[in-house]
Amino acid sequence: MIKNIALVAHDKKKPEIIAWAKRHQDKLIKHNLYGTGTTGKLIKEAVPGLDITPLKSGPLGGDQQLGAMICEGKLDILFFIIDPMTPQPHDVDIKALLRLSTMYNCVVACNFATADFVIESPLFEEPQVHATDFSEYADRSI
């Protein structure tokens, strides 16, 4: 089952996500890949086999673009490697992205331990089963 997958890492985590993507390229290559601008560009340069569609850079709206994809059901898995020790100018966008991922039951990995679990899971190749139940928001327009 082909999935839509996003790869994102904060600056200090970029060398690690490049190495991680290289290590898992045989699995990633079978899916539609997206990345925030800088992360996507760096992975594409380092791992030319991976055809990543670049969005805007995170601080310039890329995180928001991913949030919009999640709302529209266009993203299945988000590898979002966060640097917890560096303040980010777009902290509100990061929070918004994590909130929407939670809301829409999108699979999210914020560190490499979880990223490994997700990519090694037998469910990685299976159709997504956890649709969000919006019945409690029936009074809202969805």
Ligand X SMILES: O=C(CO)COP(=O)(O)O
What residues are designated binding site for substrate? Answer: 10, 14, 36-39, 57-58, 90
Piece of the chain touching ligand X by CB under 6 A; list 18-26, 36-44, 70-78, 121-129: 36-44
63 catalytic? Reply is: yes
Going by C-beta distance under 8 Å and a sequence separation of 6 or more, which residues neighbour residue 14? 38, 39, 42
Closest residue to bound ligand X by CB: 58
Q: Would you list which residues are annotated within the binding site?
A: 10, 14, 36-39, 57-58, 90
62 near ligand X, judged by CB under 6 A: yes
Nearer to ligand X, 4 or 54 (CB): 54
Measured CA to CA, the distance from residue 41 to residue 59 in angstroms comes to: 15
Which of 4, 25, 32, 57 binds ligand X (CB under 6 A)? It is 57
With tokens 């979002």, the residue in question is 80
Which of 36, 64, 65, 101 binds ligand X (CB under 6 A)? It is 36
DSSP string of 34-96, one letter each residue: EE-HHHHHHHHHH-TT--EEE---GGGTHHHHHHHHHHTT--SEEEEE--TTS--TTHHHHHH
What is the crossing angle of helices 14-23 and 112-120, to 10°?
Answer: 20
Choice among 11, 51, 63, 91 that is catalytic:
63
38 near ligand X, judged by CB under 6 A: yes
With tokens 């699995």, the residue in question is 27
10 near ligand X, judged by CB under 6 A: yes
Catalytic residues: 63
In the complex, which residues of this chain contact ligand X (CB under 6 A)?
A: 8, 10, 36-39, 57-59, 62-63, 94
